[in-house]
Structures are given as structure tokens and as C-alpha cells.
Structure 1
């Protein structure tokens, strides 16, 4: 999403309110808490942290050793506005950045979709190298090409994934997938209908590529809270689902118990 200043500005304004971000941040926090209990002194890196919404979310919940990196000057500037410890770095150059520092948790949400087949394995290996032996790599990813629509063009997303895309990728990096689930399963028919309609409009020229808009906007309060409740309830009662617009993956070093 580098170069999309308007999208970063929307993200900065809405991350703390929009149902999707809130649900994702809670999913990450729940994963961390299940593994590390009530510890708040663990080392956490958000790689590709965007405007810092997740780091701010974790900071408010008492986590004290947080760091972010991002390859967008816009994103880093917004993070600094929040008072977050974020460093500008091109993630393709991660292998040379603080090579001896290790983290308990590395989060890389909605980042892999911007990397080519040649560059992505190197990024995953660099992230794996930064993990402590019992650490976690948490990633959220755009899922299923059928959900591709106006949003993907607006944020510059180059690809969508299914779980099998990560099996060999994680293994080659010395990681093992411990949990993987698609989400927004309950809302997937609605999301799919919207995205397919967007695709039809783009295909027939009813929407021009230069005028596309992302899905990052705040709906009415009642709708935003309803969508948040649906997705939060899904996460509690359906820990794994076979379909959805996002794919949430938790991996650990293969040598870990």
C-alpha cells in the first residue's frame, strides 16, 4: 500500500473504531494471551505495522515491549503521531536489520499480499530468523481470489491466498503452522456479493480503476457494532472455519514443542 497516502490517513482515523480492525486486533491479542498468559513483558514486533493501530491496541492492554517497522514514510509518520516506537525499513531488507534481536511474537498482518513469489520466501525466512525458540509468527492475509474487488485495487494488493499456499512456505522457513482459519465466515456471502458486484462494475467500465475506493470507511454506528458483534461471536464459537475473506495463521519454529 506504499504510496497510497489517502488510504493510510483513513486507516489512521478508523483503526480504533471500524469493526474489521477491532476484530482482527482482538484475534491477535487473544492468540498472544493463550500462549503467554498474563505476561505483558514479552517482546513484540509488528512487521508492516501500518499506522500503528495494533501496536496502540496492545499498548493500551499493558504490553510494554513493542516495536514496529514499516516501509511507508506515511505509515511511520502516523505511528510517530501516536507516540509509537516504529522504524522505517523496506521489508525486503529485513535480513540486514538488527539481525541479532529476537522476539517472542512477530505480527505481519495483510503484508504478504504485496510481495512477489520471489521475494515472499525471503521475507518469511527473515521473520522466522527473528523469533525466539518458543515464539509466534502471527499473520492475517487476504483470502480466495473470488473476493478480489475494488478494495484490492485501491490498496494495491497483488494477490490473495489459500492455506495450502503457506504449507511449503512456512516449512521452508523452519516454521510449522499451528493454527489456520478463514474468518468472516458468517459474513462471507455478503462480502462476496459486494466484491463480485464491484468486479462487474470494473469489468464493464462503470467504475474506473483510477476512481476505486477501499472498504476502509465507517458505516453507521448500529451497523458497525452489529458487524463487530457477528465477527466477534464467530471467533468465539467457530474457532476454525473453511471459508472467508481473510486467512489467519499462527506459526511457530519447527523445533518448538
Structure 2
């Protein structure tokens, strides 16, 4: 039966056309179209994923599978992903990316054995949940992670000067986060060692080198702005439109 929840109504409408109902298609038509995002994911894998390529990895909201493709290229053999958008899953299958299935992330977490996953990934996912829903998701992820397992999260950064572009860039977004608010909810829910990182330009050619140089200049200016307002330099400030967080389940 159709849901009476207004959120379910708009979510069903948007997710039904999540790839195509845009000014430009979300998913590429071939694997070459994944190239712009691969340097970022490859760096993320090197820095934040276990060296053991047999690690159990579950990506929630995996989209059309770009991260899974990068993981498979890096030799990981036990990575899978789930997404609630039929169009996203269909795009992954057309691209030939293995391990992508359609489903509700909460259902998948309920069906996953406790303490069975080395890594859970939520890349551009948790901002789609309300605060109440997110608490349930956090508890479900905590249950399936092994002790000292990692939850890798990518979210809109409300601390950045243009974070609202990400927060309001998708009609289904409910939340944005700062380092403080994300750590607050994770540490309150049994996670430990939450670390947050800027989405800085990843060096992989001349263009990215120029971008990285300009990012250093712009970041220094933003730090100066905050120092003028507050009287203190916060060198750990995150100014990119999104932020990456890595949280660990306690031992």
C-alpha cells in the first residue's frame, strides 16, 4: 500500500528518476565517464581502507558503483553495495560494475550479521535522513561493524562557505554537518576516534596541481577571516563543500 508519510511520497518520486531527472544525467554512459572521480576514490582507498584486500566492505547508497569499481580495481574482492534507486542500479549494471544490488539500506543492515563488516561506507547518503532516522541508521551500522571496524562517511559540510550548494543541491537532502555535529552524534552512539578531512584537490596532473595551489591560498584567506572574527586560528577547520569522516567502532 502507498505510504501516508509525506517524506516517503516525495522520496519515491525523486528516487524513481534519480539519474535522469536532472539538467545533466547523473550516471555516465561508459566506464570512461567515471574517470573524473577515480583519483579521489583511489586516494581515499589508500588512506582509509584496510590493507587486507579480503576485508568485508559494505557501501550503503552506492549509486552507480564508482567506488566499488575503484575498490575492485585495487584488488578488493569482498566489497558490495546497495542503492534504493532503480535507475542507479540499472546504470551500474550497464557499466558492468559488479556487486551492486537494489534495496533499502535499513533492510540490508538488518539482514547483515552483527560484527561482520570491516568497513561500512556511506558516501553522500546520511544527509538524506532526518535526525530521527539517522539515529536508527547509526545504531544499525554500529551493530554490523566488527570491533575497530571503520565507518567512512562523506557529507555536505555546513562549515564551508559554499556548503549550502551541497545541502540544497538535492531535493531529498535533509541535513548538513560540521565536524562538531557529526562527531557529536557518532561519539554519543558508541563510535570512537572520529576524524574529519577536507575534500582538497587530489594531485593527478597539471590542472589539479594548479587547483591545489589556489586551494592553499584560498584556505589561508578563510583561516585569516575566522581568526579576525574569533581571535584564534583553527588550523583543523574544514572549508570544502563536502567533508570526509572516518569513525571507528570501539574495540
CA distance in 1, matches of 2:139, 2:66: 25
Root mean square deviation, CA, Å = 3.3
Describe the superposition over 1:24-52 as per-residue Cα deviations: whole angstroms up to 9, x where unpaired: 3124202335xx33x21111111110000
Aligned length: 210
TM-score by length of 1: 0.69
Which structure is richer in relative contact order (CA contacts within 8 A, separation 6 or more)?
A: 1
Deviating beyond 4 angstroms after TM superposition, the runs of 4 or more aligned structure 1 residues are 231-235
Going from structure 1 to structure 2, the CA distance change for 1:25 and 1:135 (only over 3 Å counts) comes to: same
**Other structure's SS at 1:30 match:** helix
CA distance in 2, matches of 1:160, 1:246: 9
Going from structure 1 to structure 2, the CA distance change for 1:154 and 1:178 (only over 3 Å counts) comes to: closer
Tell me which residue corresponds to 2:9: none
Going from structure 1 to structure 2, the CA distance change for 1:30 and 1:5 (only over 3 Å counts) comes to: same
Identify which of 236, 245, 248 aligns with 1:249.
245
Describe the superposition over 1:147-185 as per-residue Cα deviations: whole angstroms up to 9, x where unpaired: 22388345643332111111231123311134212323x
CA distance in 1, matches of 2:45, 2:214: 16
**Other structure's SS at 1:46 match:** strand
Q: CA deviation at 1:84?
A: 1.2
CA contact (8 A) 1:28 1:138 kept: no
**Other structure's SS at 1:107 match:** strand
**Other structure's SS at 1:126 match:** helix
Going from structure 1 to structure 2, the CA distance change for 1:246 and 1:12 (only over 3 Å counts) comes to: same
Bigger-Rg structure (1/2): 2
Tell me which residue corresponds to 2:157: 143
CA distance in 2, matches of 1:5, 1:245: 22
Identify which of 172, 176, 179 aligns with 1:160.
176
* 78-87 or 92-101, larger mean C-alpha shift: 92-101
CA distance in 2, matches of 1:40, 1:91: 24
CA distance in 1, matches of 2:132, 2:105: 14
Tell me which residue corresponds to 1:218: none
CA contact (8 A) 2:194 2:246 kept: yes
State yes or no: 1:90 paired with 2:86.
no
Unaligned runs of 5+ in 1: 188-223
Going from structure 1 to structure 2, the CA distance change for 1:29 and 1:126 (only over 3 Å counts) comes to: same
Tell me which residue corresponds to 1:131: 145
Unaligned runs of 5+ in 2: 1-13, 217-234
Tell me which residue corresponds to 2:129: 115
State yes or no: 1:181 paired with 2:182.
no
State yes or no: 1:172 paired with 2:188.
yes
Identify which of 38, 55, 61 aligns with 1:42.
55
Identify which of 86, 95, 118 aligns with 1:104.
118
CA contact (8 A) 1:183 1:246 kept: yes
Going from structure 1 to structure 2, the CA distance change for 1:84 and 1:101 (only over 3 Å counts) comes to: farther
State yes or no: 1:66 paired with 2:79.
yes
